[in-house]
Chain A
Amino acid sequence: MLKYALIPLLPFAGFLIAGLFGKYLKERAAYAAVAGVAGSFILSVSAFIDVLGGTIIDENLYSWFAIGNLTVNVGFQIDQLTAVMLLVVTTLSTLIHIYSVGYMHGDKGYARFFAYLELFTFFMLVLVMANNFVLMFVGWEGVGLCSYLLIGFWYEKKSASDAGIKAFVVNRVGDFGFLLGMFLIFLTFGTLDFTDVFAALSGPAAAQSYMLLGAEIGVMTLISLLLFVGAMGKSAQLPLYVWLPDAMEGPTPVSALIHAATMVTAGVFMVARCAPIFSLSPTAMTTVAIVGGLTAVFAATIGLVQNDIKRVIAYSTISQLGYMFLGLGVGAFAAGIFHLTTHAFFKGLLFLASGSVIHALSGEQDMQKMGGLKRKIKVTHGVFLVGSLALAGIFPFAGFFSKDEILWSAHNAGEVGRVLWMLGVFGAFLTAFYSFRLIYLTFYGKSRIDHEVEHHVHESPKVMTIPLVILAFFAITIGWIGMPGAIIPHANLFGDFLAPVFPVLEHGVANHGLERWLMVFSVMVALAGIRLAYSLYVKNTSMPDRLARSFKGTYNLLLNKYKVDEVYNFIFVDGLVHRLARFLYNITDVKIIDGAVNGIAGMIRRTSEGSRKVQTGFVQEYAFVMGLGLVVLMGLYYVLK
């Protein structure tokens, strides 16, 4: 058990060292940090091998607290799903830690950065290893906190600290849903341990229903929807996605680790973990699928016109998360987790590579001021291309396999599924287009770089490029572990590995012929997207401007991200919050609460001043009071008897 407990504890130790002694260690703090995650990675590999060998761990370390009939343990569960997550989290975390050694070099918050990053890894590991909802929630909130700290890492910058607050506040909305879901689970089943809850699902408690707004809603649907609200916040789904693009204010390694590879996928993981609950509610499943599908296309359309290199990738992340939920929603849980895994690698790669571009251009993030970088930063260009091919879903890169599995599952999931499949394919077209728009604007064509910046352009140091190359390797190959039956029969190692964790909900029967055709079709669609990007941004570079002018309304709407931020600001921040706050402050606070509080406080203070005078200092009076007390108590005899 100690081995497993050390998986989260090693990064925690790294956090303590970097956090407490960072002032003295300076840049050496990174050694402790890297050692912490690397150790955790090695143990995770070992845990994975244990699970492969058939050892499933579910053990309580100690009882955290017990109130009434709620006992919350600190306990870990390592099954197939957790083992996959452990590998994803620790691999990415280790590589990104190493990359950061170079990327953050010279920053005055160097040790603080690594301390936060370690703390994040700790909480993320707690989240995926927890064997009950409460401990999972601890990790869930913990990663949220670290996300907030790291988005606002450069807190002197107003936009950065604002973005941190925005992320925190929007996530609270989701967390509220998660909490309510947990309460309802406890109310229904009287326990919050995964094993006990899932075991009770077949019992009568799960069949209850509530009357809400005149409609009868099954308790399973209600729980699933509430939990899904939590997932929407953490995993940036419609309508709670708005914090993620702003989160790009954080240092790029943070965007890679937290806002692409791991934390934002926590919602996906949570839904997958609760697959037994969700699968009991077709309504909830359909909701998950529809929200996922809509988000996938919605975010992709915004990504089409953004000019900030990191924001394009951020919208792409939102969109890809949508695909994952789409997969989960149509019952292809393993496919969703598979896409989570491949996405972690190629999206982590894309972010780190974009970091390398930004690094080369002395901090420039606007793609309109890039171009022609292909020859100057060759390694970065190479890995960026690999990442984009994976993202666009081109065979045989990683994204192809996972995205196709999701689309195929959607296609088999009835009428709604067929519509979602169409959405997904359209999204894939957009994805291919915007990812190659990014490639062409950045690396090809004529240079639009400022002259000052131009002669400083340099390839990143080895400590940054080596993690990039490793990630690129995975971005090519990681998909092969989930080989679809239509290409090589019975070679879907990933799906088989995860099969024991998930309920079987797959619709229809294997139809390899059709599946193969659909694959070819979606690759063609992606290639069409790339081709369009090529003609617009390499061949015919004046075209985009003309298009923007002739479709001015649409273009501006997309450029301004559908004005969702503005609408939210108008309704919630200005309308609801400010007006309500003013009302609460002026009437409730000042008049009622302050009035009462100050009144009572004044009264007590006057009593205090008055009774203070009883204390005269004369010992005979003290004795008299004592005697008086004695007599009064004696007199109680007549009252009590």
Chain B
Amino acid sequence: MPSTLQEFFTLMTPIYPEVVVITVALTVLLLDLFVRKEQKSSLGWYSLAGVIIAALATFKLMGVTGSFFAGTFLLDRFSVYFKFSFYVACSLGILVSINYLKIEDIHRGEYYALMLFATAGMMLMASAGDLITIYLGLELMAMSIYVLAGFMRRDSRSNEAAIKYLLLGSFSSGIMLYGMSLLYGMSGTTNLAGIHAFLRGADLANPMVFLAMIMLIVSFGFKIAAAPFHMWVPDVYEGAPTSVTAFMSAGPKIAGFAVLLRVFSYALQPLQHDVTTIIAGIAVLTMAVGNIIALSQTNIKRMLAYSSIAHAGYALVGIAAGGPEGVASVMMYVFIYAVMNMGAFGIVIMLRRSGERGEEIKDFAGLGKTNKMAAFFMLIFMFSLTGIPPTAGFMGKFYIFKAAIQADMVWLAVVGVIFSAISAYFYLRVIMVMYMSEPQAEFKLATAPSLAIALVFSLVTVIYIGVYPDNVLNFARASIAAIL
């Protein structure tokens, strides 16, 4: 126990970034009482500043590695990589929200607080060294997002989304806790390192080990929207406020992959053989479901929901491939996916005007004529989601499939490429509608400086990584030592 304040601060050093995010969230709640309704966007900028300060704190801690708080909290390059990804996702989430909340007339301060709480939860997940920390972080994130999904209180679809997400989320949490308790029952510890050590010496044919593994796969699979645990995704994505959908498709998914990698590549590493087989199967199913059902969607948010499922499938290919290249490719992929997807949602948000949802794909008709700039941005994001060079999406897929081939899973790479080809249909259809169809009516886009910043950032990142992937890839490669 710390005896002086000085010691207390020293003890807290490893979690400074988390402390900053949570403090900012709490102060947002407080300040919200004093900020007039027209000026709520200042809370958004304040939250953004908080995220940037947290990022600086993480940057400062980059050299520090170790395990803290009785092994429950790990500080390593792996967690740093993911925390930076969360900062990007959260910042973009805040930026695309500011104007959207105004239009939807739901501009309330707790929105930003919830987003920051969710981010803090993700950060805990990335740094978790213990099953309990994983659960804690995951629930903090999930709870915040349940509320965010239902943030349009008067909108029935938003309510429906929140309730569905909550029910199914609780279901998956139950499964996860069951799996965790089985692990604890066998090994007598919840510590990941302890479990790793236990499994090394354990009889792996024990059905209990297998059950625990399956349950964790199912519950994490739920979070990253892998089939067949994906059913919530389309309904929730469609019903939630679009800015929340954007954030939800990026942050929690990255966090899910962080935990998936930490648990399966490290703690359950002795089970590698079974995990690879199962994950490869799930990957194929996920890519199939996501890409095929996306074809017949007419609502862009639902289409992007299925696309989000499909992309989880690609990333799972990297996990199935395993090894340093596989892990690094997954880490790079989820980051790229988050950025390009947030960009695409940013454009969807632009089309949202009071009185009109602007969520149907046919609402994009003629955008290439009426607003060249927005159409061009959407073009790049759609190219990137399809995986066409020179965009980041291409590089992401390239390294995923390369890892699969290097791991002697050529068949999986081939399946991935085939589904990737199918996906071109529904992404390019948006482009076709934008450029080939006549505009239906005159309309003005809901532009705002905050949204513009987010879009330009996404576009530049997408192109930069597409042309010069080495920086991100090397950063990811340098971050995997902790879990391998």
Contact = CB atoms under 8 A, between A and B. Distances in A.
Interface of A: 63, 601, 604-605, 607-609, 611-612, 615, 617, 619, 621-623, 625-626, 628-630, 633-634, 636-637, 640-641
Given A604-B292, A611-B289, A619-B164, A626 B172 contact: yes
B295 interface: yes
Interface stretch (B88-96, B213-221, B316-324): B213-221
A605 B168 contact: no
Contacts of A604: 292, 295, 422
Contacts of B295: 604-605, 608
Interface string B194-235: 000000000001010011001101100010000111011011
Given A601-B425, A608-B295, A634 B214 contact: yes
Interface in B415-472: 422, 425, 470
B481 interface: no
A634 B296 contact: no
Contact of A637 (B207, B293, B296, B425): B207
A63 B289 CA distance: 40
Contact of A626 (B210, B229, B293): B229
A528 B302 CA distance: 83
Interface string B138-154: 00000000000000000
Given A605-B296, A619-B164, A630 B235 contact: no
Given A619-B168, A633-B217, A612 B293 contact: yes
Contact of A625 (B205, B217, B231, B235): B231
Interface residues of B, number: 36
Contacts of B211: 634, 637
A609 B235 contact: no
27 contacts: A63-B470, A604-B292, A605-B296, A608-B295, A612-B293, A615-B231, A619-B164, A619-B167, A622-B164, A623-B168, A625-B229, A625-B231, A626-B218, A626-B228, A626-B229, A626-B231, A629-B218, A630-B214, A630-B215, A633-B217, A633-B278, A634-B210, A636-B214, A640-B274, A641-B205, A641-B207, A641-B210
B277 interface: yes
Interface in B293-323: 293-297
B175 interface: yes
A633 B232 contact: no
B274 A629 contact: no
B316 to A, nearest CB: 14
A626 B223 CA distance: 12
B345 to A, nearest CB: 21
Query: Which of A625, A629, A640 has the most C-beta atoms of chain B within 10 angstroms of its own C-beta?
Result: A629
Nearest to A626: B229
Interface of B: 163-164, 167-168, 171-172, 175, 205, 207, 210-211, 214-215, 217-218, 222, 227-229, 231-232, 234-235, 274, 277-278, 289, 292-297, 422, 425, 470
B416 to A, nearest CB: 16
Contacts of B164: 619, 622
Nearest to A632: B228
Contact of A608 (B163, B229, B277, B296): B296
Nearest to A620: B167
Contact of A640 (B167, B171, B277): B277
Q: Is the interface of B mostly helix, strand, loop or mixed?
A: helix
Contacts of A625: 228-229, 231
Contacts of A630: 175, 214-215, 218
A626 B235 contact: no
Contacts of B232: 622
B214 A633 contact: yes
A605 B295 CA distance: 7
A247 B292 CA distance: 50
B231 A609 contact: no
Query: Which of B211, B274, B277, B293 has the most C-beta atoms of chain A within 10 angstroms of its own C-beta?
Result: B293
A22 B168 CA distance: 58
B255 to A, nearest CB: 20
A607 B207 contact: no
B222 A626 contact: yes
A630 B278 CA distance: 12
Contacts of B278: 633, 636
Contacts of B470: 63
Contacts of A612: 293, 296-297
A272 B239 CA distance: 67
A607 B292 CA distance: 7
B182 to A, nearest CB: 12
Query: Which of A601, A608, A611 has the most C-beta atoms of chain B within 10 angstroms of its own C-beta?
Result: A608
A25 to B, nearest CB: 22
A604 B295 CA distance: 8
Query: Which of B168, B217, B231, B470 has the most C-beta atoms of chain A within 10 angstroms of its own C-beta?
Result: B231
For the complex of A and B, the 8 pairs showing the least CB-CB separation, nearest first, are A622-B231, A629-B228, A608-B295, A608-B296, A633-B214, A637-B210, A619-B164, A608-B292
Contacts of B296: 605, 608-609, 612
Contacts of A628: 228
A628 to B, nearest CB: 7
Contacts of A617: 235
Contacts of B422: 604
A614 B208 CA distance: 32
A636 B207 CA distance: 11
Contacts of A609: 296
Contacts of A63: 470
A641 B425 CA distance: 40
Contacts of B171: 623, 626
A568 B129 CA distance: 73
Nearest to A637: B210
A272 B327 CA distance: 47
Given A629-B229, A630-B175, A630-B214, A615 B293 contact: yes
A630 B168 CA distance: 14
Contacts of B168: 619, 622-623, 626
Nearest to A66: B470
A86 B30 CA distance: 67
A20 to B, nearest CB: 15
Query: Which of B222, B229, B295, B470 has the most C-beta atoms of chain A within 10 angstroms of its own C-beta?
Result: B295
A629 B229 CA distance: 7
Contacts of B292: 604, 607-608, 611
Contacts of A629: 218, 227-229
A180 to B, nearest CB: 23
Given A636-B214, A636-B278, 15 more contacts: A604-B295, A605-B295, A611-B292, A615-B235, A617-B235, A626-B222, A629-B218, A630-B175, A630-B214, A633-B218, A633-B278, A634-B211, A634-B214, A637-B210, A640-B210
Contacts of B217: 633
B372 to A, nearest CB: 15
